[in-house]
């Protein structure tokens, strides 16, 4: 029930959305005056017999949760004819209580429907009309360390922009025929190895995509050949961009990455978006992104980093683990692209791909990969591996392949299309129509093919569908826990990263295949690389309201205001999404923040057994470990989430010490709530935090006990501090996964 903010429902014959307006509604009583209330639909399934009984139960449920207000003041409407439920004005606390009541199917935030946009920002409730300060926003600089940028695109036009902020100390060294402007105020390129690519211009599209997602202008009527049509924009459209190109055809050299950090920090950027990572496990002192971001943190710059795209490999795959960065996982939005396959027997299968083409109603012959090769082994032929597809056999036909990644081979051989096996439900661009089917549907396809002498099929043009199941963590998104510091939960947060439309390099193939000759200015990509700049843009948005906040305060605000994810839809739990789904609007009013300093991070590394030399490799200076710091558990670092590695099977008791700073109301009283988990006993001391002034700090201790956890498993619960206005939420996770130090 935790994903009530996003769930939509489909009744047997009605799709219902209540459109009353998402703007906050002032409370009508003393207890709720300080609270923020919104309109929600409390959906309870099909209508029971007897309208009066339904209404009576709805009113009773509502009366149990609202405080200091009447049912009449809270309830907006009762649904009792075709479905069962009601609409009401509720606080976050009331929503959480209702969500746990028997009979509640889902709780949906009220929405206003508009013409289609690129969806990811609107999906998060972060519309183009949210409260902004454009003057302050234009003083924020986002540094993007990536594959460069294409500055002439509309997303980077400087129309309406004034000169760069006075604090900007960077340069425009983009190379030949590269010109910066008042939007893209700086550009550099790095080449540690000989290359003909001596420019900050983006040849792959990746850097352009991430930069426009973070801070691109508002650009109307964009699409990918008519698909996903709408308005493209970044999180902070008025912000400036500085591009640091470190990636080329062969990859991104670590020496270049560290050089980019070095320049970006000195240039005066405010936020760094780094959608890069290494597939190999590395200690902090061996990871240039961890090192560079540590120095950025010292200078007040928050670094956002993609968590990695190795989710299918299972736990312990997250690549971004340094606690001074924000590790961003990828999740879906409510708009998905679906490509249907119509078989000769009339059956329709739903596949995933980005296919703007059409067969114009014509069905084409089907061939299996093993039937189109006489020179390869059967296994290689079924995969449609390189040199295994005979051009004479496949021309004008549809080829079935047991693996993705074969589309370029099939396209080069002259096939009209391919259908591949892939259980990851994300749509990617391919050079030819090539929908992916899950194992069940792929088996149905093979069964049909084997049942007739003349198997044929038609691949339809992709269509956008409303995905009521979202958000869920994308299957490709790398999983935690943290393999270096298992008592620090990673990833930190999740954001939209599947099928994201944004600006793209007009000289790059949209599918990434050299045989694909199409060229576009806007394209659709998926990955934690796409999620990272979403959070970078939101971090910049928070900074426009709180320019004096430290990187850790901004990070805390992002994490503690995140929407709770539905565990039933995300079975990997917090090791897949961290604190939850980023919530842009609420991140600017977190109420309380958990702050950490450079000294705190050094103490953490001491507790991990890092030597003075190890720490120097990261901080760049000699830092002696404080006396007894090695005896201080890593879990006591003042992190916004709480995690602990415990022994399998055995009983355990672990404690966490945390300090919060009041950034909400000067005089406020926060009371603690713990979500129930029968496998964990949680005690919090004290249970009430009373603040008399802003910036005042309070310390509390959390003790968690339990036992019997199997190896490589986890249990979790949630700690919430609330003053009736702010909800400060932190996950508590205990797990039995090893670190690389213990494995």
Nearest of 422, 460, 479 to residue 712 by alpha carbon: 479
Q: Which of 92, 106, 120, 146 is catalytic?
A: 146
Q: According to DSSP H, which parts of 641-680 are helical?
A: none
Contact 272, 242 (CB under 8 A): no
Q: Which of 212, 529, 579, 645 is catalytic?
A: 529
8-state DSSP, 738: P
Q: What are phi and psi of 109, to 5 degrees?
A: -65, 145
Tell how far CA 330 is from the center of its chain: 3
Q: What string of H, E and C letters represents the secondary structure of 188-209?
A: EECCCCCCCCCECECCCCHHHH
Q: Of all helices (H) and strands (E), which one includes residue 221?
A: strand 219-224
Q: Nearest 5 degrees, angle CA 178-CA 182-CA 183? A: 85
529 an active-site residue? yes
Count CA atoms closer than 13 A to 38's CA, side-chain side.
23
User: Residue 166: is it exposed, middle or buried by C-beta count within 10 angstroms (0-12/13-18/19+)?
Assistant: exposed
Q: Nearest 5 degrees, angle CA 502-CA 506-CA 507? A: 135
The DSSP result for 331-377, as a single string, is E--SEEEEEEEEETTS-EEEEB-B-----TT--EEEEEGGGS-SSS-
Contact 8, 19 (CB under 8 A): no
Tell how far CA 261 is from the center of its chain: 23
Nearest of 14, 7, 12 to residue 41 by alpha carbon: 7
Inter-CA distances, 17 with 43, 48, 128, 133, 230, Å:
11, 20, 21, 31, 21
Look up residue 272 and give its two tokens: 């760094």
Could you tell me the end-to-end alpha-carbon distance of the chain, in angstroms, rounded to an integer? 36
Contact 510, 504 (CB under 8 A): yes
Q: Of all helices (H) and strands (E), which one includes residue 586?
A: helix 584-587
Inter-CA distances, 297 with 290, 596, 733, Å:
10, 10, 26
Q: Of all helices (H) and strands (E), which one includes residue 538?
A: helix 528-545
Q: What are phi and psi of 264, to 5 degrees?
A: -60, -40
Residues 680/683/484/559 CA torsion (nearest 10 deg): 100
Q: Nearest 5 degrees, angle CA 183-CA 189-CA 193? A: 165
Name every residue whose Cβ is closer than 8 Å to that of residue 53 and which is 6 or more positions away in sequence: none
Residue bearing tokens 């983009």: 174
Name every residue whose Cβ is closer than 8 Å to that of residue 251 and which is 6 or more positions away in sequence: none
Q: Which of 206, 295, 581, 726 is catalytic?
A: 206
Look up residue 633 and give its two tokens: 């558990």
Q: What are phi and psi of 643, to 5 degrees?
A: -140, 150
Q: What are phi and psi of 741, to 5 degrees?
A: -75, -25
Tell how far CA 126 is from the center of its chain: 14
Distance, CA of 720 to CA of 716 (rounded, Å): 13
Look up residue 284 and give its two tokens: 């902090």
**Rg (alpha carbons) of the chain, rounded to whole number:** 26
β-bridge pairing 227-232 and 219-224: antiparallel
Name every residue whose Cβ is closer than 8 Å to that of residue 688 and which is 6 or more positions away in sequence: 669, 670, 671, 672
Active site residues: 146, 206, 529
């Amino acid at each position: 029930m935790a994903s009530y903010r996003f769930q939509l429902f489909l009744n047997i014959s009605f799709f219902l959305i209540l459109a009353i307006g998402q703007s906050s509604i002032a409370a009508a009583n003393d207890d709720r005056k300080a609270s923020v209330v919104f309109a929600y639909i409390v959906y309870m399934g099909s209508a029971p017999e007897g309208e009066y009984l339904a209404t009576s139960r709805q009113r009773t449920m509502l009366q149990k949760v609202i405080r200091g207000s009447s049912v009449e003041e809270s309830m907006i409407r009762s649904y009792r004819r075709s479905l069962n439920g009601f609409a009401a004005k509720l606080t976050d606390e009331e929503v959480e209580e209702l969500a746990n009541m028997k009979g509640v199917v889902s709780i949906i935030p009220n929405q206003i429907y508009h013409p289609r946009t690129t969806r990811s920002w609107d999906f998060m409730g972060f519309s183009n009309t949210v409260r902004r300060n454009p003057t302050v926003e234009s003083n924020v600089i986002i540094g993007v360390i990536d594959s460069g940028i294409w500055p002439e695109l509309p997303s980077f036009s400087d129309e309406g922009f004034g000169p760069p902020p006075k604090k900007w100390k960077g340069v425009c060294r983009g190379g030949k025929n590269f010109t910066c402007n008042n939007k893209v105020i700086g550009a550099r390129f790095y080449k540690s190895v000989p290359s003909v690519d001596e420019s900050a211009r983006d040849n792959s599209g990746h850097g352009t995509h991430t930069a426009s997602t973070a801070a691109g202008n508002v650009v109307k009527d964009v699409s990918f050949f008519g698909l996903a049509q709408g308005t493209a924009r970044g999180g902070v459209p008025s912000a400036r961009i500085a591009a640091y190109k470190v990636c080329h055809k062969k990859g991104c050299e670590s020496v270049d990455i560290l050089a980019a950090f070095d320049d970006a920090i000195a240039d005066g950027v405010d936020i760094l978006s780094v959608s890069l990572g290494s597939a190999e496990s590395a200690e902090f002192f061996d990871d240039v992104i961890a090192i560079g971001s540590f120095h950025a943190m010292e200078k007040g710059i928050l670094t956002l980093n993609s968590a990695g795209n190795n989710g299918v490999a299972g736990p312990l795959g997250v690549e971004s683990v340094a606690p001074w960065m924000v590790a961003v996982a990828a999740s879906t939005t409510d708009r998905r692209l679906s490509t249907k396959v119509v078989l000769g027997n009339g059956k329709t299968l739903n596949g995933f791909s980005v296919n703007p083409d059409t067969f114009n109603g014509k069905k084409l012959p089907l061939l299996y990969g093993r039937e189109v090769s006489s020179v390869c082994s059967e296994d290689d032929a079924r995969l449609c591996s390189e040199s295994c597809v005979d051009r004479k056999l496949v021309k004008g036909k549809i080829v079935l392949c047991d693996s993705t990644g074969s589309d370029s081979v099939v396209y080069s051989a002259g096939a009209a299309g391919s259908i591949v096996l892939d259980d990851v439900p994300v749509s990617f661009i391919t050079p030819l129509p090539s929908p992916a089917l899950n194992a069940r549907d792929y088996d149905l396809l093979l069964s049909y093919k084997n049942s007739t002498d003349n198997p044929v099929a038609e691949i339809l043009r992709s269509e956008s569908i409303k995905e009521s199941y979202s958000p869920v963590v994308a299957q490709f998104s790398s999983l935690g826990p943290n393999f270096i510091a298992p008592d620090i939960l990673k990833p930190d947060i999740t954001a939209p990263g599947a099928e994201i439309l944004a600006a793209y390099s007009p000289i790059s193939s949209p599918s990434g295949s050299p045989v694909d000759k199409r060229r576009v200015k806007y394209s659709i990509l998926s990955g934690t690389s796409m999620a990272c700049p979403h959070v970078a843009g939101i971090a910049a948005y928070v900074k426009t309201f709180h320019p004096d906040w430290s990187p850790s305060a901004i990070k805390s605000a992002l994490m503690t205001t995140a929407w709770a994810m539905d565990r039933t839809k995300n079975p990997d739990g917090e090791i897949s999404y961290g604190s939850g789904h980023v919530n842009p609007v609420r991140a600017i009013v977190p109420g309380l923040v958990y702050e950490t300093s450079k000294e705190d991070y050094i103490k953490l590394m001491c507790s991990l057994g890092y030597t003075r030399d190890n720490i120097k490799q990261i901080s760049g200076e000699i830092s002696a470990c404080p006396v007894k710091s090695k005896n201080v558990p890593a879990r006591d670092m003042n992190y916004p989430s709480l995690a602990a590695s415990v022994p399998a099977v055995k009983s355990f008791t672990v404690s966490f010490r945390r300090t919060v700073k009041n950034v909400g109301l000067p005089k406020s009283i926060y009371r603690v709530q713990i979500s129930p988990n029968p496998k964990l006993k949680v005690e919090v001391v004290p249970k009430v935090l009373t603040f008399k002034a802003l910036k005042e700090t309070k310390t509390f201790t959390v003790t968690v006990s339990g036992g019997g956890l199997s190896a490589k498993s986890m249990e979790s619960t949630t700690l919430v501090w609330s003053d009736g206005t702010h909800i400060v939420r932190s996950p508590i996770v205990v797990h039995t996964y090893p670190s690389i130090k213990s494995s």
